[in-house]
Structure 1
Amino acid sequence: MIFERSLQRELAYTAGAVFMVLLTIMLTTMMIRIVGFAAQGQIDPKDVVVLIGLTVIGYLAVMLIVTLFVSILFVLTRWYRDSEMVVWLASGVSQTQLIKPIAMFSALIIVLIMFFAFVGWPWSNAQSKLIKARFQQRDEVSLLAPGQFRESPTTNRVFFIEKMSPDQANVENVFVTSTEGGKVNVIVSKTGHTETRDGDRFIVLENGRRYDGEPGQPNFRIIEFERYGVKIMNHQVVNQATTTSISTPALLRHPTKENLAEFAWRAGLPLIAINLMLLAIPLSYQNPRRSRTINLVMAVLIYLTYSNLLNVVQSWIEQSKMSFALGLVGLHIVVALIVAFNFWMRVRNRPLFRLSTFTRSKGA
């Protein structure tokens, strides 16, 4: 029908615009956050773009849910506001007849939500953890930066290097201090370089001095040397898998409370999309003579409430306060009943939200 093609065309344009806005906001937020981590030395600056991309992939399911809900609400609300919906309703189109074209438009988006919820989310989290763990497993020399004091993550050493070659093979004006058994060791050297012996890496200092002693005591020992080797320690980090980075089949193969709670959360995302897709139809009704923002405000509150309740259900499953079966479908069945009630209200031509009710109660 003409109205179906018109509706799907407007939904496609609006969904594209809404998704681009959400993507821009997400990219800006993630860039600020991840660049901050890079400035603090928690991640490699070279991996910033990759981590931003992985984070966006992980949250694409949520972004698509919001895109679907908001785009349907925007288009239908505009049709009511411009009296275009009145024409279609007068032509014999009912509220329930809107479900078919909207469902056809939403089918691909819901499939993408399922893919990114079950596949994209754990894969992006696993790759992000791998990149961060690989950066943390660098040796002590890789952590050094010219002109900065850096503390070793594996030993109680503090390094300072004034100059370093681009390949990190040669250094100049080195200062190293460490504490062992209450004694302080300080090593200063003019030059140095890295060597590998028997599989171990060393930084070999040349033409320097070593000061050994206990703070507050006069018995410091001073040793001058031509060559002095300092073993470079590796930072071994155990990359433990978390529930967010475990693949969906693995969650079901190992049905612990945490894994089942994570599966319930992932399965809940496409169910949220379906319920919100249907809820947007009766929620979009608007009287042109009344406020134009009430539907959008209610849409934001509904989405935030729904998503937060899903997180609460996930937490209850982890804490054994709710069974897995009930947590998997219970919340979504309740929302589906609310959606059915709203359709029933619209069939009876009753508004879902009456501003006059709130106005009278406030005046009273």
Structure 2
Amino acid sequence: MTDYPQSLPQKSKKPRPHGIFYWALVREFASTGLLVSSILLGIVVFTQLIRLLGESVSGMLAVDGVLAMLGFTSLNYLPVLLSISLFLSVLLTLSRSYRDSEMVVWFTSGIGLTRWIRPVLGYAIPVTLLIALLSLVLSPWALSKADEFKRRLDSRDDVSAATPGVFRESKQADRVFFLEDVDSQKKRVGNIFVQSTQNGKEGTMVAKEGYQETAPNGDRFLVMLNGTRYEGIPGRADFRIVEFERYAMRIEPAELREDLPHLQAFSTLYLLQNPTAWNLSELEWRIGLPLSALILSLLAIPLSYVNPRAGRSLNLIAAMVIYMFYNNMISVTNSWVARGKISPSAGLLGIHLLMFGVMLVLFYHRSSASSWRRLKR
């Protein structure tokens, strides 16, 4: 009689618990956050572009510096924009789950409110690390480069800084330039208009073309060709009209300014090495941005509750009020630290511990209310 080997019972692989729940939420958080951050960044870029173009038209900023300044300014705003988009993405996603009754399904499946912390942290921690990198490293670097770039633009001579088609006053306030065409590579200009004051007399020069010339001693001149000079006031006896083939006008050299950078442009390492009151307040702001972003992402879980019988926008209004209070209190504590009213440790930890406590209270309130409703049913 042949004995057949009996097959041993195999252990069935259990699916990872709530894996679908986790990854579905993370994907929805990411897609909503990408959409919100793109909209906010587009608004900031558009408003800053209008401001920079206005400065360029008025002669305060050169045309070739608009795009560079726009990039530096946008990079400076990114930490705040990412913090707002992180908060809104969690809030809007969970609010939609309440409105579409998905929360009821998850709650009846045994997933309580605290089980939402893990997927929210899985999405929020990488974004918070990016905010910390931007706040502590990249934003100060962008502001320092923006200050340096603007100083170089302001330190250019009058002809190099002139914008084609725009009247521009010299830095000595004794000449007004108008250049219709500027070729910086060939150092030639076309259709020149210059109004200047020399020896108490006003003069106006008009030339069809000209070029820049450098003397052996280093002095630079704007040489105008085939032009006309008008001296004095028309109608008076001393009014003269002089035609010239070549007229050289000296370009006053501009000094490179050595202005101190703004406090926001100092590196984080410099702030740590020089712990003054103002430096500590700036350091507190940079560290507070990622901390507040992480706390707000968790705070959005209980704030996303939507009561079907009440207005659907009440939770959004309450969330915006809490966000504005949190952000304003961070600014207030920063100013208190800078003025020496409170210690840096109290300014850094006080408001964040307060909001962390508010988050715990809201979690307890929502969890207790949900458990009571389930028990009552």
Query: Take 1:92 and 1:15, find their aligned partners in 2: how far apart are those partners?
Result: 27
- Alpha carbons of structure 1 residues 218 and 294: separation in structure 2 relative to 1, 3 Å: same
- Alpha carbons of structure 1 residues 21 and 261: separation in structure 2 relative to 1, 3 Å: same
Match of 1:134 in 2: 152
Aligned residues: 348
Counterpart amino acid of residue 231 in structure 1? R
Please give the residue correspondences for 1:1-364 in structure 2 after superposition, counting only pairs within 5 Å: 1=18, 2-145=20-163, 148-160=166-178, 167-172=186-191, 174-178=193-197, 183-186=200-203, 188=205, 190=207, 192-197=210-215, 198-205=217-224, 209=229, 211=231, 228-236=247-255, 237-349=257-369
Counterpart amino acid of residue 66 in structure 2? V
Larger Rg: 2
Superposed displacement of residue 231, structure 1: 1.8
What are the ranges of 5 or more consecutive residues in structure 1 without an aligned counterpart? 352-364
SS of residue in 2 equivalent to 1:29: helix
Superposed displacement of residue 110, structure 1: 0.7
Q: TM-score, normalised by structure 2?
A: 0.82
Tell which deviates more after alignment, 107-116 or 170-179. Answer: 170-179
- Tell me if structure 1 keeps the 8 A contact 2:228–2:244: yes
Query: Take 1:331 and 1:4, find their aligned partners in 2: how far apart are those partners?
Result: 31
Superposed displacement of residue 309, structure 1: 1.7
- Alpha carbons of structure 1 residues 35 and 188: separation in structure 2 relative to 1, 3 Å: closer
Q: Percent identity?
A: 38
Superposed displacement of residue 116, structure 1: 0.7
SS of residue in 2 equivalent to 1:322: coil
Tell which deviates more after alignment, 272-281 or 90-99. Answer: 90-99
- Alpha carbons of structure 1 residues 84 and 200: separation in structure 2 relative to 1, 3 Å: same
Query: Take 2:364 and 2:370, find their aligned partners in 1: how far apart are those partners?
Result: 9
CA-to-aligned-CA distance 1:273-302 (integer Å, 9 cap, x gap): 111011111111122222110111112222
- Tell me if structure 2 keeps the 8 A contact 1:154–1:235: no
RMSD of aligned C-alpha atoms?
3.0
- Alpha carbons of structure 1 residues 74 and 179: separation in structure 2 relative to 1, 3 Å: same
What are the ranges of 5 or more consecutive residues in structure 2 without an aligned counterpart? 1-17, 372-377
Tell which deviates more after alignment, 126-135 or 138-147. Answer: 138-147
- Alpha carbons of structure 1 residues 165 and 100: separation in structure 2 relative to 1, 3 Å: closer
Match of 2:374 in 1: none
Tell which deviates more after alignment, 168-177 or 203-212. Answer: 203-212
Superposed displacement of residue 92, structure 1: 2.0
Superposed displacement of residue 72, structure 1: 0.9
CA-to-aligned-CA distance 1:304-323 (integer Å, 9 cap, x gap): 22112212222222222222
Counterpart amino acid of residue 333 in structure 2? V
